[in-house]
Structure 1
Amino acid sequence: MTNKNAGVLFSVDLMRQIKDRFHYVDFDMRGRRRLFFDNAGGSFRLKTATERHSIIDAIPDCPERIHELALYLQDVQERGTQDVRTVLNALNGTVYASLTASGAMFDMVRAITENIPGKNMVTSVLEHPSSYDAMEMYATRTGKELRVAKSNTMTGGIDVDDVVGLVDENTCLLSVMYASNISGAKIDIEKVVSRARAIKPDLYILVDAVQHAPHGIIDLQKTAVDGINFAPYKFFGCRGSGFSWLSPRAARLPHNKLAGKAQDFWDLGSPTPSQFAVVTEMVDYVCWLGSQFSGASERRALFACGMDRIAQHEQALLFQMLNGGNGVPGLRKIDGLKVFFDHDDLTTRDLIVAITFDGLTDTQAVREYEKRGVIVYERVTTSLYSQRMLDSFGIKGSVRVSPLHCNSTEDISQFLEITRELSLL
């Protein structure tokens, strides 16, 4: 193994500032010191996001009125809408705010499969149930064949050839995730889109970006898809909302909407301005981070710089977790445990590690970690959120470890020390 993928850590001073902007990074709500390494299930919350959400949500005024505070709420919503575009680098199309990103995925799959002709649909075995189950349901309802790309048991991801090889001139929809929430493996969406469209230029493509969005740059100008979603609660924001974007042609497909609304309008019911305020706080934070490294003034440029630096810091944490540092051995060097999907190219991985212990079941390991102040999560075949993916890898389960860029090298060293202790049980 080489260190070519070692990443770049934040400075000590910047790391301190970053931690200070989030709730409960080093201590839980009861003041107990802990390592929260379950960010793939819901990330650390920005203090400004939770505060802003509370302030805006407390305003009783309906944003669909004409008085002063109603106009203020309209402005909050408009700024949040533009910041969804900032996250995705989306210049046109429709922003769709929903209760959950999962619900929006079902809506987008339905609109395409019910209205676009074709004999088959293509997805992958690693998809989140909100995507896979939607594809399966509407393939059955519309009488289309569902083609499922296999996983790569070595990388934990999906090979581009295996996805594109299932696409033909009769494919009406391709739906694929940006990164696996079990292995952390990233899918090369740019290559998937380019090669799939070479086979069928007018192919509709959906992307589930919920897992990847907090960890790297998304650029719809490079990956021209027809729908994509993300969830604020995994992206430093709050629970209770999901955001999606649809291309102009996808947004105009028949879908549930009020008759008086524009053909490409997707929101139903009264808007919730606090949802949009949270997105603006998320983008403000990443832009602040970008401003520590760039003199750019344009908001998307600062955001992209901030996300790039997040990715570099997380890659450095992943490198340390695998190889060790500060006198502490990495996971690769600890006897009594196995690291799944381990390979050298860390640029193709988000900050998720899947491990299992020789002497503990995955559930037992999670309990032992918690006793020592570490929160991780077991992915096991008894879970509807894990079974299909784990079966494809040929494994029964793993302990998922998912820190965030808010974590430091000291946090990783502490985790490794505790892991070495558990390996001896």
Structure 2
Amino acid sequence: MDSNEGIFFSDELMQEIKDRFYYVDSDLDNRERLYFDNAGGSFRLKKAVEQFSKIDSIPDNPERIHQTALFLQEMQETGTADIRTILNANGGTVFCALTASAAMFDMVRAIAENIRGGNMVTTVLEHPSAYDAMTYYANKLGKELRVAKSDPVTGGVDVEEIAKLVDRDTCLLNVMYASNISGAKLDIENIVKRCREINPDLYILVDAVQHAPHGVIDLKKTPVDGINLAPYKFFGCRGSGISWLSDRASILPHHKLGGKKVGFWDLGSAAPWQFSVVTEIVDYVCWLGGKFMDSGERRELFVCGMNRIALHERALLSRMLNGTAEVAGLRRLNGAKVFLDYADLSKRDLIVAIGIDHLDHIQAVREYEKRGVVVYERAASSIYSKRMLESFNMDGAVRISPLHCNSAQDIDKFLQITAQLCEMN
């Protein structure tokens, strides 16, 4: 994992991977395209979609004692165990919501309302579900909201920039795992360590929605109090947000039915498909890990699979930035600019922000679409981009977000199309 250029999957394995997902090389009308907007919602595993349809068609309530209900209960237990496999989490509480954003608001509320402390700390790069939740409860409860600045060199937020805002009166730190504009990974392990040195009782929440499809999460190394995932950005389906809470966070007062256990967080009847889709995601990553190692331990296979995904994506990122002898990469393409570029690719997830000199960002996105490439504009007019872009003194960017399902040839095709845009009059 120390290669800055990454390691591509073999052509044979690459085809096997593509065959397991829907619409990697074409759209629903069978038109050839490159879908490079996975940061907005990733390619769907065929088995995850099939399992969603199969399980959600079952009318049975899992809170019963007949055979089908018991089958659904077992499915939920397996899925819950697989959420713990993803996170390497023991104890605590797993709960599902309609979205990861809703879950984040719930977690922030429980901590902010019930833990003493006059201030709360977050970063300027947070998704609105975290930043706005922190703002809302800080204002409601009369707590000071402290916001760590971004680093225009790394595209992330430095450990010490966060740590200097934390003190013994901080009740909550809320920080994201990776930026959804620059792709920069925050050093969560050292952020947790450093901030807990200052305040050992500090509650910490992490937004892992953007990072989860790209690398390993290990709560034994980063012992936080809450973390959320969104399966639709992790090869799964929309309509599900998944979170884990530590033992001490899970028992804080929160919305729940009075008869449920103190650490129970789900409201209403469970949707078993949410859990079965997670199992399909973990099955897939373990299958991939099994291509590189022989193990009967599920977490070990999962970690291997995610590490190989990270290496392949790093190779894709290197190819996109540096190109080849035949195809110019973004770094040496006249008329293109890579924003927030950073030499150490091990510090990045597979997200790149670029500009085309003579096209505004929306125009560039439309021109890409005409040529069969789907990308996304991050504009300062958007509530999902404004705060982050302004922190980098940017007015916008074209965000490029492939996934490990893409090949080196896909990157080359994208670079060739980008060169065409750069040559437009």
TM-score band by shorter chain is: over 0.9
Q: 1:84 to 1:356 in 2, by over 3 A?
A: same
Deviation at 1:182, TM superposition (A): 0.7
Deviation at 1:156, TM superposition (A): 1.2
Alpha-carbon distance in structure 2 between the residues aligned to 1:60 and 1:98: 20
- The letter of the residue matching 2:172 is L
Structure 2 counterparts to residues 271-282 of structure 1, below 5 A: 271-282=270-281
CA distance in 2, matches of 1:344, 1:141: 42
Q: Which amino acid aligns with 2:341?
A: D
Cα distance between partner residues in 2 of 1:410 and 1:229? 33
- For the residue of structure 2 that corresponds to 1:420, the secondary structure is helix
Alignment correspondent of 1:231: 230
Query: How far 1:240 moved relative to its partner?
Result: 0.3
Which residue is 2:14 aligned to?
15
The secondary structure found in structure 2 opposite 1:404 is coil
SS of the residue corresponding to residue 5 of structure 1 reads: coil
Distance 1:48 1:352 in 2: 26
Which residue is equivalent to 2:115?
Answer: 116
Q: How does 1:205-244 map to 2 (within 5 A)?
A: 205-244=204-243
Q: What is the CA deviation profile of residues 151-206 of structure 1, one whole-angstrom value per residue up to 9, with x for unaligned ones?
A: 01122110111001100000000000000001100000000000000001110000
**Unpaired segments of 5 or more residues in structure 2?**
none
Structure 1 residues 288-337: Cα deviation after superposition (integer angstroms, max 9, x where no partner): 00000011111000000000000000000000000002610100010111
Matches within 5 A, 1:310-389: 310-325=309-324, 327-389=326-388
Determine whether 1:70 maps to 2:66: no
2:409 corresponds in structure 1 to: 410
SS state at 1:205 partner: strand
Contact 1:328/1:416, CA 8 A, preserved across alignment: yes
Match of 2:96, SS state, is strand
Partners in 1 of 2:219 and 2:326 — Cα distance? 42
Superposition deviation, residue 357 in structure 1: 1.0
SS of residue matched to 1:342: coil
Q: Could you tell me which amino acid in structure 2 is paired with residue 16 of structure 1?
A: Q
Q: Which residue identity does 2:392 align to in structure 1?
A: F
Alpha-carbon displacement from aligned partner over 1:252-299 (angstroms, at most 9, x marks no partner): 000000000000000000000011110000000000000000111110
> Which residues in structure 2 correspond to 1:156-235 (within 5 Å)?
156-235=155-234
Q: CA RMSD in A?
A: 0.8
Indicate the residue corresponding to 2:92 in structure 1. Answer: 93
Between the aligned partners of 1:286 and 1:91, the Cα distance in structure 2 is: 20
Name the residue aligned to 2:5. Answer: 6
1:66 CA drift (Å): 0.4
Instruction: Report the AA paired with residue 179 of structure 1.
Output: A
Match of 2:103 in 1: 104
Partner SS, residue 263 of structure 1: coil
CA distance in structure 1 between the aligned counterparts of 2:301 and 2:404, rounded to whole angstroms: 17
**For 1:124-164, what per-residue CA distance to the aligned partner results, in whole angstroms no more than 9, with x for missing partners?**
00000000000000001111100000001122110111001
SS of equivalent to 1:96: strand
Contact 1:326 1:413 in 2 (8 A): no
- Matches of 1:325 and 1:89, distance apart in 2: 38
1:49 matched to 2:45: no
Residue identity opposite 1:306 in structure 2 = G
Q: Determine if the alignment matches structure 1 residue 149 to structure 2 residue 148.
A: yes
Aligned to 1:127: 126
TM-score by length of 2: 0.99
CA–CA distance in 2 between the matches of 1:263 and 1:373?
A: 52
Q: CA deviation at 1:28?
A: 0.7
- Contact in 2 for aligned 1:365/1:399 (Cα 8 Å): yes
Q: Distance in 1 between matches of 2:351 and 2:422?
A: 19
Q: Deviations over 1:35-77 (max 9, x none)?
A: 0000000000000000000000000000001000010011111
Which stretch shows the higher mean deviation, 41-50 or 294-303? 294-303
Q: Deviations over 1:321-358 (max 9, x none)?
A: 00002610100010111100112100000000000111
Match of 1:267 in 2: 266
Alignment-derived partner of residue 300 in structure 2? 301
Q: Does 1:29 align with 2:41?
A: no
Report the CA distance between 1:214 and its aligned residue. 0.2
What SS class does the counterpart of residue 342 from structure 2 fall into? coil
Whole-angstrom CA distance in 2 between matches of 1:80 and 1:92: 15
In structure 2, distance between residues paired with 1:18 and 1:337: 31
1:104-125 deviation digits (Å, cap 9, x = unpaired): 0000000000000001000000
Distance 1:13 1:169 in 2: 54
Deviation at 1:93, TM superposition (A): 0.5
Between the aligned partners of 2:90 and 2:160, the Cα distance in structure 1 is 30
| CA distance in structure 2 between the aligned counterparts of 1:291 and 1:73, rounded to whole angstroms | 28
How many Å apart are 1:4 and its aligned residue? 5.1
Instruction: Report the alpha carbon displacement of residue 88 of structure 1 after superposing the two structures with TM.
Output: 0.3
Which 10-residue stretch deviates more, 318-327 or 51-60? 318-327
Whether contact under 8 Å (1:352, 1:402) holds in the other structure is: yes
Partner of 1:59: 58
Partner of 2:135: 136
Give the match's secondary structure for 2:377.
strand
SS of alignment partner, residue 283 of structure 2: helix
Q: In the aligned structure 2, how far is the partner of 1:27 from the partner of 1:395?
A: 33
3-state SS of paired residue (1:316): helix
| Aligned pairs, number | 423
Q: CA deviation at 1:24?
A: 0.3
